[in-house]
Amino acid sequence: MVPENGAMHCASRLLVVAISWLAPISAQDPSAPALVPASPAAEVAWRYSPQPSAFDEVVVGDGVLFALDRRGLVHAIDAVTGKSRWLGKDPLVCDRVFGIAYTQQESGSLVVVGTDKGMFAFRAKDGEKVWFTAVAAGVAGPAVAKGLVVAGGADGKVHGFDLKTGEIRWQQDYLEDRPEDPPGFKGSDARFSEPARPGGAATDGDMVALSIFDQCRTLALDAATGKRLWDFKTGGWMYGRPSIGPLFVYVGSQDEHVYAIDKQIGKQQWKLATRSRNEAMGALQDRFVYCGSCDGTLHAIDVAVGRVEWTFPIERFAGRTTAMYSSPVVLGELVYCGAMEGTVYALQRATGKVRWKLRPSQDSEITGDLVTDGERLFVVTRDHMGKGESSVLAIRIPKG
């Protein structure tokens, strides 16, 4: 999801340490080996691009890709063939706050969708509506835990919806203690007409964490009860979902830092300076969190101390941005990332060296988070300056 209404603004630091640029290994050092092509080469397996459409977010489950179309539909797409399984019948409003999640349940898998009108739950097998709960100002991207669907509301409350019925089980207010705006990041400039602008929620099964864009802070709550565990404030607006690891929660901010927050007490463990705002969620694997920044760099960061192991600078093309709004994904020994300018990269996790790269839609931008089913990468694109297309693409991951 690419931010609007002020989200492109850029402001001109236990172990608590401010980490600056430490001279990490650069994956593009001139002395490094040339590009090592995969064999066979990566290729687009299928393209799904019904028009008109405005795809934003995708999730995958049970061999099906569920794509949120901001024109008001959920599309269920066969992950192998790219053919439509079903198209949502209920018109949705996804202008300001929205998001999608998939959850597998014994009684049947569900797709839950936050919209400007409230929360919907649909049967994953056929798209039939199971329930809808109205929330006047709308709800953002949900997370599912402890039998609840948890999402931030633009009404200034986090809501816990019963997964089976949609009944609201708890609410947690986050307007009463709204912090003061940091310099250069006025909250009213970041909001629409609603009282607040929440981001998408993430969960580890017990805790739910979400960032409040206009308040420049992240909230952590007990998923079962909604009890506030802690909140953590940064110096800039916060857009992406948090990443939750075993010990720390990782967040990015438009104050040009990535933060690690102690999961139990909500205190800063470290922060890393970047050269621009940080909008996308990081991908966690073993000792590292992989974070893309709008400075056009993917960082491999040691999760314990915040040391940069290596960086990968996105290639620059005239008239195209190198910003990264897509969260990367890790599979095996490779980390995959998408640059907004339109290229997908497969990098060796240990070194950041390029294994392969592909521009799946020549004139389009990559916006949504990368998603995988283990055999394919799923990519969301949008048009750029009247060229390109809104589409969902599958890239066949090369073997070997």
| 61, 371 contact by CB (below 8 A) | no
Total domains, the chain: 2
Predicted pLDDT at 26:
52
Predicted pLDDT at 348:
97
Q: What is the CATH number of the domain that holds 395?
A: 2.40.128.630
Within a domain: 205: yes
> Could you tell me the pTM of the whole model?
0.90
Spatial CB neighbours of 167, under 8 Å, sequence gap ≥ 6: 133, 161
Predicted pLDDT at 316:
86
In a shared domain, residues 295 and 185: no
**108 exposure class (CB count in 10 Å sphere: 0-12, 13-18, 19+):** exposed
In a shared domain, residues 93 and 213: yes
Q: How far apart are CA 329 and CA 232, in angstroms?
A: 25
In a shared domain, residues 303 and 380: yes
The full DSSP string for 288-308 is EEEEEETTTEEEEEETTT--E
In a shared domain, residues 148 and 259: no
Spatial CB neighbours of 323, under 8 Å, sequence gap ≥ 6: 276, 279, 294, 296, 339, 340
Within a domain: 69: no
**227 exposure class (CB count in 10 Å sphere: 0-12, 13-18, 19+):** exposed
Predicted pLDDT at 391:
97
Predicted pLDDT at 20:
35
Predicted pLDDT at 24:
53
In a shared domain, residues 271 and 388: yes
| Neighbouring C-beta atoms of residue 189, cutoff 10 Å | 13
Within a domain: 16: yes
Predicted pLDDT at 45:
98
Q: What is the CATH number of the domain that holds 197?
A: 2.130.10.10
Predicted pLDDT at 40:
55
Within a domain: 82: no
| 159, 168 contact by CB (below 8 A) | yes
Q: How far apart are CA 275 and CA 283, in angstroms?
A: 20
Spatial CB neighbours of 396, under 8 Å, sequence gap ≥ 6: 42, 43, 44, 45, 375, 376
Of the residues 241, 274, 305, the one at which a domain ends:
241
In a shared domain, residues 279 and 161: no
In a shared domain, residues 171 and 258: no
Predicted pLDDT at 395:
98
Within a domain: 390: yes
How long, in residues, is the chain?
400
Predicted pLDDT at 384:
86
Within a domain: 74: no
Look-up: residue for tokens 């200034």? 156
Of the residues 223, 241, 259, the one at which a domain ends:
241
| 337, 347 contact by CB (below 8 A) | yes
In a shared domain, residues 213 and 258: no
Range of 202's domain? 89-241
Within a domain: 68: no
Within a domain: 66: no
Q: What is the pLDDT along the chain (400 residues), one digit of tens a residue?
A: 554 444 433 333 333 333 333 345 455 443 333 344 444 589 999 999 999 999 999 999 999 999 999 999 999 999 999 999 999 999 999 999 999 999 999 889 999 999 999 999 999 999 999 999 999 999 999 999 999 999 999 999 999 999 999 999 999 999 999 999 999 999 999 999 999 999 999 999 999 999 999 999 999 999 999 999 999 999 999 999 999 999 999 999 999 999 999 999 999 999 999 999 999 999 999 999 999 999 999 999 999 999 999 999 999 887 788 899 999 999 999 999 999 999 999 999 999 999 999 999 989 999 999 999 999 999 999 998 889 999 999 999 998 6
In a shared domain, residues 198 and 108: yes
Which of 8, 150, 50, 60 is closest to 370 using CA atoms? 60
In a shared domain, residues 298 and 213: no
Strand order in the sheet with 55-61: 55-61, 64-69, 73-78, 84-87
Q: How far apart are CA 70 and CA 56, in angstroms?
A: 7
In a shared domain, residues 225 and 255: no
The values of phi and psi at residue 361, to 5°, are -140, 105
Six token digits for residue 295: 């400075």
Pairing of strands 18-19, 268-273: parallel
* pLDDT tens track for 176-207: 999 999 999 999 999 999 999 999 999 999 99
In a shared domain, residues 202 and 227: yes
Of the residues 190, 208, 241, the one at which a domain ends:
241
Predicted pLDDT at 331:
97
